[in-house]
């Protein structure tokens, strides 16, 4: 039953792609060769003369909320998408029709195990906001404090499971048939989307993210994070302090409130770099809807940001954090040789790459930017182009680095909207220099050594014995070498795939013969476009079997 539902859903996706004239995305694949069968029964959308990125955005919106979320996550993968598509997908709005307030009340009671009257003195049935994963309601605690209650949509877990399973199937087809499968790495993209969606399903995890960020920025004049009420939160319900502010892209409202936009823009850049390199914990969904500006009249000349929605946060390994900071400093100093060396030292690129070639490619990316005024230079754009250039040399990027790149572009976009003449480099460089001085100062290194000293002392007695055993094995020639044959594993995989393809090919041939016989004999029963339904079902089954039997490239 689930397989049949998935097949119809896949057919519906292809029809939506055809409606928006996006069949070119499937050219060169096995599916693309069969699209002509669906074109006669697919009505074109009225706006097919729009750019392809816009048509893709409209198609994802038509497919539903999970595919909107898929598009948002995919927009962060600028290493895979053309710029026009990435820009359009970043505009996707995660807004869907709300579910009834009575259902939300029931889900809050089920999630917290108490009647709504014992939890809140007031709970508004009309939601403040509704998205694909959850919706938010205003409420009031018994002590009078205003809060917002975030509750998961009913049935969302099952829907995500079904759509992820379908995306896995489509990714397998892309891996098998797409000419650029190795570059696209479809299964990795789906895994990233799956990880992001399941992380957003755990509201307790989101609350923990917000709680940590609030503690990190406690008492700050630059960023305010609302309080989490753990007594009123669980995996499916999150209750937080209600805050009020102006979305950071609402320039007219900011001007009307008398906010110093230049000071605000500079502060936003400093907050981001501090989160990444001081805290190693940054808000990774930092669009204007999640970053507000405090409305307190006393803060007109000293504006403060308010962060909300902590479903997606980013962290880097200490190694990546160090090398990224060093890369930024090398970019500031236009030291292209150092940038090339750092990419290799970090393990982002193979050690076999020629440093002089990578240096020349880096210079070609960066030099055109330095001919512009500093206020027009985007560090995010430089980073995106550096990563794209390095892909030619087998660049290996971790998902968190891609998340950082996307967040940096968001922050710079908001900063330039607030202050078109913002010199991002001038604001970021002092922050980086200060953090690096503190991070790698003798005092900090001494503290790190003291923290690890008990571990070193614990293992110290074993060291002489381990060294003696190793040297003895070398002298006697008894050291062991463990090997795993990748070639044998690959041959076994090819053999299994060949057997499976043979079975599917035989099945497809049989079903095709059945379909032809039923059509020729004009089998009775219901019909679909003049074709007996039984023959049509057999033909679709044959089509599916032939697709499964199609050899990998």
pLDDT higher for 223 or 59? 223
What is the SS3 assignment for 104?
helix
**Cα–Cα distance between 167 and 9 in angstroms, integer?**
11
Percent of the chain clearing pLDDT 90 (strictly above): 21
Of residues 285, 294, 320, 419, which has the active-site annotation? Answer: 285
pLDDT score of 391 more than 90: no
pLDDT digits (tens, 9 = 90+) for 520-550: 666 566 666 667 777 777 777 777 776 777 6
- Encoding tokens for residue 528? 């679909």
pLDDT score of 227 more than 90: yes
Q: How confident is the model at residue 552 (pLDDT cuts 50, 70, 90)?
A: low
What is the SS3 assignment for 250?
coil
Kindly report the backbone phi and psi dihedral angles of residue 301, in degrees, each rounded to the nearest multiple of 5, phi listed first: -95, -5
pLDDT score of 29 more than 60: no
Angle at CA 30, nearest 5°, toward 29 and 32? 65
- Encoding tokens for residue 377? 């230079």
pLDDT for 60 equals: 82
Please report, in angstroms and rounded to a whole number, the separation of the first and last CA atoms in the chain: 31
pLDDT for 460 equals: 66
pLDDT score of 74 more than 60: yes
Which of 73-87, 198-212, 398-412 has the lowest average pLDDT? 73-87
pLDDT higher for 490 or 219? 219
pLDDT higher for 29 or 496? 496
Highest mean pLDDT among 20-34, 66-80, 140-154, 186-200: 140-154
Give every CB contact of residue 522 below 8 A, 6+ residues apart in sequence: 532
pLDDT digits (tens, 9 = 90+) for 450-488: 776 677 677 667 767 777 676 777 677 666 555 455 555
pLDDT for 179 equals: 61
| Mean pLDDT of all residues in 31-49 | 51
SS (H, E, C) 61-76: HHHCHHHHHHHHHHCC
Domain ranges of the chain: 1-92, 95-162+200-243, 245-462, 493-549
* Residues forming beta bridges with residue 314, ordered by sequence position: 282
pTM exceeds 0.75: no
pLDDT for 1 equals: 46
pLDDT for 399 equals: 63
pLDDT score of 378 more than 80: no
pLDDT for 445 equals: 67
pLDDT for 238 equals: 96
294: annotated active-site residue:
no
pLDDT score of 44 more than 60: no
pLDDT higher for 239 or 15? 239
pLDDT for 394 equals: 63
Average pLDDT, the chain: 78
Angle at CA 435, nearest 5°, toward 432 and 437? 105
* Domain 95-162+200-243: CATH class, spelled out: alpha beta
pLDDT for 36 equals: 46
pLDDT higher for 503 or 237? 237
Q: Which residue has the tokens 């009575």?
A: 102
Highest mean pLDDT among 190-199, 290-299, 368-377: 290-299
**384 exposure class (CB count in 10 Å sphere: 0-12, 13-18, 19+):** buried
pLDDT higher for 52 or 258? 258
**Cα–Cα distance between 90 and 86 in angstroms, integer?**
6
Angle at CA 105, nearest 5°, toward 101 and 110? 145
Kindly report the backbone phi and psi dihedral angles of residue 130, in degrees, each rounded to the nearest multiple of 5, phi listed first: -140, 125
**Cα–Cα distance between 402 and 389 in angstroms, integer?**
15
pLDDT higher for 358 or 214? 214
pLDDT digits (tens, 9 = 90+) for 411-440: 888 888 888 888 887 888 888 888 777 776
């Amino acid at each position: 039953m689930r397989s049949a539902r998935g097949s119809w859903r896949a057919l519906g996706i292809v029809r939506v792609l055809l409606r928006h004239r996006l069949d070119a995305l499937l050219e060169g694949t096995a599916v693309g060769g069969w699209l002509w069968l669906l074109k006669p029964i697919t009505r074109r959308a009225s706006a097919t003369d729009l750019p392809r990125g816009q048509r893709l955005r409209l198609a994802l919106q038509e497919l539903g909320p999970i595919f909107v979320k898929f598009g948002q996550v995919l927009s962060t993968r600028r290493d895979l998408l053309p710029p026009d598509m990435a820009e359009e997908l970043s505009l996707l709005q995660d807004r869907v029709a709300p579910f009834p307030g009575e259902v939300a009340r029931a889900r809050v009671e089920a999630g917290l195990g108490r009647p709504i009257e014992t939890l809140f003195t007031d709970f508004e049935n009309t939601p403040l906001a509704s998205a694909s994963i959850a919706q938010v309601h205003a409420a009031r605690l018994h002590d009078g404090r205003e809060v917002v209650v975030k509750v998961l949509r009913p049935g969302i877990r099952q829907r995500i499971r079904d759509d992820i399973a379908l995306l896995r199937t489509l990714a397998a087809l892309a891996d098998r048939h797409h000419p650029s499968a190795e570059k696209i790495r479809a299964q990795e993209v789906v895994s990233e989307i799956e990880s992001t969606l399941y992380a957003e399903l755990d509201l307790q995890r989101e609350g923990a993210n917000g709680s940590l960020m609030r503690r990190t920025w406690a008492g700050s004049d630059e960023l305010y994070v609302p309080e989490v009420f753990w007594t009123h939160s669980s995996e499916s319900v999150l209750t937080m302090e209600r805050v009020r502010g102006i979305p950071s892209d609402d320039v007219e409202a900011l001007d009307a409130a008398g906010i110093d936009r230049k000071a605000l823009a500079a502060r936003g850049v400093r907050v981001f770099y501090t989160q990444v390199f001081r805290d190693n914990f940054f808000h990774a969904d930092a669009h204007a809807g999640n970053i507000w500006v405090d409305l307190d009249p006393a803060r007109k000349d000293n504006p403060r940001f308010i962060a909300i929605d902590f479903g997606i946060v980013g962290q880097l390994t200490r190694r990546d954090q160090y090398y990224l900071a060093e890369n930024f400093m090398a970019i500031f100093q236009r030291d292209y040789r150092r940038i090339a060396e750092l990419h290799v030292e970090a393990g982002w690129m193979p050690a076999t790459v020629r440093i002089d070639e990578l240096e020349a490619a880096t210079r070609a990316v960066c030099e055109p930017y330095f001919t512009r005024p500093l206020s027009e230079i985007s560090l995010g754009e430089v980073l995106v182009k550096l990563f794209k250039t390095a892909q030619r040399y087998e660049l290996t990027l971790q998902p968190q680095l891609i998340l950082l790149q996307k967040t940096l572009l968001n922050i710079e976009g908001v900063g330039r909207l607030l202050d078109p003449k913002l010199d991002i480099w001038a604001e970021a460089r002092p922050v980086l220099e200060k953090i690096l001085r503190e991070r790698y100062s003798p005092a900090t290194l001494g503290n790190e050594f003291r923290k690890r000293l008990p571990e070193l002392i614990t293992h110290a007695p074993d060291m002489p014995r381990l060294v003696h055993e190793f040297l003895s094995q070398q002298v006697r020639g008894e050291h062991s070498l463990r090997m795993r044959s990748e070639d044998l594993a690959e041959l076994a995989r090819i053999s299994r795939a060949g057997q499976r393809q043979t079975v599917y090919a035989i099945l497809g041939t049989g079903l095709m013969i059945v379909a032809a016989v039923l059509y020729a004999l004009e089998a009775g029963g219901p019909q679909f476009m003049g074709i007996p339904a039984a023959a049509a079902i057999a033909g679709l089954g044959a089509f599916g079997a032939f697709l499964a039997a199609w050899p990998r490239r």
